Amino acid sequence: PPALEFRDVWFGYRPAQPVLRGVSFEVPRRGHVALIGPSGAGKSTIFALAARFYDPGGGEVLVGGVAAGAVSRARHRAGIGLVEQECPILDGTLRDNLVYAAPHAGDDEIRRVVDITNLAGLVARLPHGLDTRVGEHGRELSGGERQRMAIARALLPRPRLLLLDEPTSHLDLESELALHQALDEVARRCALLVIAHRFTTVRAAAQVIVLDQGRIVASGGHEELMKTS
Ligand code: ADP
Ligand code: ADP
């Protein structure tokens, strides 16, 4: 089954004001799908429904072929890693920051996500490696490092689907490239759904879905979309 499936999903925050109007799409296992569209189109709402912060008013949301309503919210969310635009940093070590959603993760697991997200170089440069304090009273991390740390953190519980909200906003070019490399690695291991504005983020995705006013108005490979627009 696909990692994520929306089947004719309708949703509104208020009665008679639908924000999603019959949205259907799939993110295949190991798929890399980008969701683009103007501000207010409903992109974040799709994330909120995928993560089950809300239930759809109509239609179905399925994760790994299982209807969201058929399992507890906790069970549903266990399969999903969510990386929001603001990456909160705990005032503790880099290790504390990585493991807080997966407190029993061992060193091998931590090394795995550090490698996938291109953070190995950073860890090597930190005076105490993973045990260096970061955050308010420790070393500052750059925007790109924070983003990749947030992705590593989300990957530790081994989700089947990672949702990323505007991962490349506020990044300089070098950080953006490092992030893209990381996302390519991530895509080999789990499905990705990325909210994107920038062209470069979209180019890395195998499929692009264009949302406008709560409807999917176009979707396809990057090249395909360029031809038709
Ligand atoms: P996007 O992420 O594409 O910018 P959103 O999903 O955030 O779009 O918003 C879609 C529509 O839903 C907008 O009209 C927005 O004002 C409205 N909306 C978003 N979140 C809420 C909320 N919590 N309560 C009420 N309306 C909301
Ligand atoms: P449950 O029904 O399992 O108790 P909720 O859906 O009420 O869970 O919320 C679980 C967690 O998700 C809470 O910490 C809540 O603050 C957070 N949450 C709920 N809605 C949103 C949202 N739209 N964006 C971000 N976090 C949210």
Query: Tens of pLDDT along 4-20?
Result: 999 999 999 999 999 99
* Pocket-testing residue among 45, 46, 53, 193, ligand 1, by greatest number of atoms within 8 A of Cβ: 45
Question: Which residues of 28-69 form beta strands (DSSP E)?
Answer: 32-36, 58-63, 66-67
Q: Where are the alpha helices (DSSP H) in 160-214?
A: 173-187, 199-204
Q: Whose CA is nearest to atom 11 of ligand 1?
A: 40
Q: Whose CA is nearest to atom 6 of ligand 2?
A: 53
Looking at the CA of residue 42, tell me the nearest atom of ligand 1.
Answer: 6
* Pocket-testing residue among 43, 53, 80, 82, ligand 2, by greatest number of atoms within 8 A of Cβ: 53
pLDDT tens-digit map of 113-149: 999 998 999 999 999 999 999 988 888 898 889 989 9
pTM of the model: 0.83
23-27, 64-68, 136-140, 184-188: range with lowest mean pLDDT: 136-140
CA within 13 Å, CB half, 202: 18
Residue 110 CA, ligand 1 centroid: distance in Å: 35
Residue 140 confidence (pLDDT): 87
Q: Please compute the mean of the pLDDT values over residues 144-159 and round it to a whole number.
A: 92
Instruction: Give 157's contacts (C-beta < 8 A, 6+ positions apart).
Output: 78, 81, 101, 102
Q: Among all ligands shown, which has an atom nearest to the Cα of 50? A: 2
Residue 186 CA, ligand 2 centroid: distance in Å: 25
Interface predicted TM-score of the whole assembly (ipTM), two decimals: 0.67
Banded model confidence at residue 200, pLDDT cuts 50, 70, 90: low
Alpha-carbon distance 221 to 209, whole Å?
A: 9
